[in-house]
Amino acid sequence: MSLAVGGSYVEQGERLAAILHDAGAIKDGTAILDLGCGSGRLAATLGRRTQVDYTGVDIVPELLKYARKKSPRSYKFIESHSLKLPLASESFDSVCAFSLFTHLKHEESFAYFDEAKRVLRPRGLFVFSFLEFREPAHWGVFEETLDGLMRHKRGHANVFIERNVIELWAARLGFSPPRFIAAGDPGPAGELGQTLATMVVMGEAH
């Protein structure tokens, strides 16, 4: 289960929780949605640290089963293969998505951005990670992906999104201008190995 989410299960869970704490996305009583929750590395950490109303969504039933075992009984886990989330509008204070948009087509990512906006309450916070070409540390990921393609080796898709694209999506959907933290910057976000973005629900899409 650790390998299924890239290894370092406990360490990465602690890192993701620290990122959310630094971003102001979690505190006691927060209703948080974890998109692409995987085998529960974040959920397990939050369950030890704070009292939150947690919901995790993923497409892999085996990962969700393991996540349930590692988390408090009050935590909710949902298997969903749809780009439309089976969740009520304005029902969360925070939405996070770590290492999710790195594996999706841009139109799929945009659909999830739209859904994040829908399920967030006014002034709700969206925190997510992504790969970008401008980040030197990410170029190796691109080279590995290219090498796998040339060798006809199947692996994870690694999709890059540039900051100007995220800024455009944010403006179109009614989020605040995103704040970016580059991979390699000091703090838990820099240790993630991906660029981090945070943005707030502002108003209606235009």
pLDDT in tens, 107-139: 999 999 999 999 999 999 999 999 999 999 899
Q: Is residue 28 part of a domain?
A: yes
Q: Is residue 8 part of a domain?
A: yes
Q: What residue ranges in the chain does DSSP mark as E strands?
A: 31-35, 53-58, 76-79, 92-97, 120-130, 179-181, 195-200
Name the residue among 53, 45, 50 with its Cα closest to residue 13: 45
Q: Is residue 206 part of a domain?
A: no
pLDDT of the residue at 156? 73
Q: What is the mean pLDDT of residues 80-87?
A: 97
Q: Is residue 85 part of a domain?
A: yes
pTM for the whole thing?
A: 0.91
Q: Is residue 205 part of a domain?
A: no
Q: How confident is the model at residue 206 (pLDDT cuts 50, 70, 90)?
A: very low
Name the residue among 33, 162, 180, 160 with its Cα closest to residue 103: 160
Q: Show Cβ contacts of residue 35 under 8 Å, excluding neighbours closer than 6 positions.
A: 57, 95, 96, 97, 100, 112, 116, 128
Torsion angle in degrees (nearest 10) through CA of 22, 201, 127, 86: 130
pLDDT in tens, 13-40: 999 999 999 999 999 999 999 999 999 9
Q: Is residue 32 part of a domain?
A: yes
The three-class DSSP label of residue 185 is coil
- Residue appearing with tokens 């408090």: 72
Q: Is residue 190 part of a domain?
A: yes
Q: Is residue 64 part of a domain?
A: yes
- Mean per-residue pLDDT of the chain: 91
> Count of domains in the chain?
1
Q: What is the C-alpha to C-alpha distance for residues 112 and 73, in angstroms, rounded to an integer?
A: 27
Q: What is the C-alpha to C-alpha distance for residues 134 and 163, in angstroms, rounded to an integer?
A: 9
- CATH number at 74 reads 3.40.50.150
| Domain hosting residue 49, numbered range | 3-200
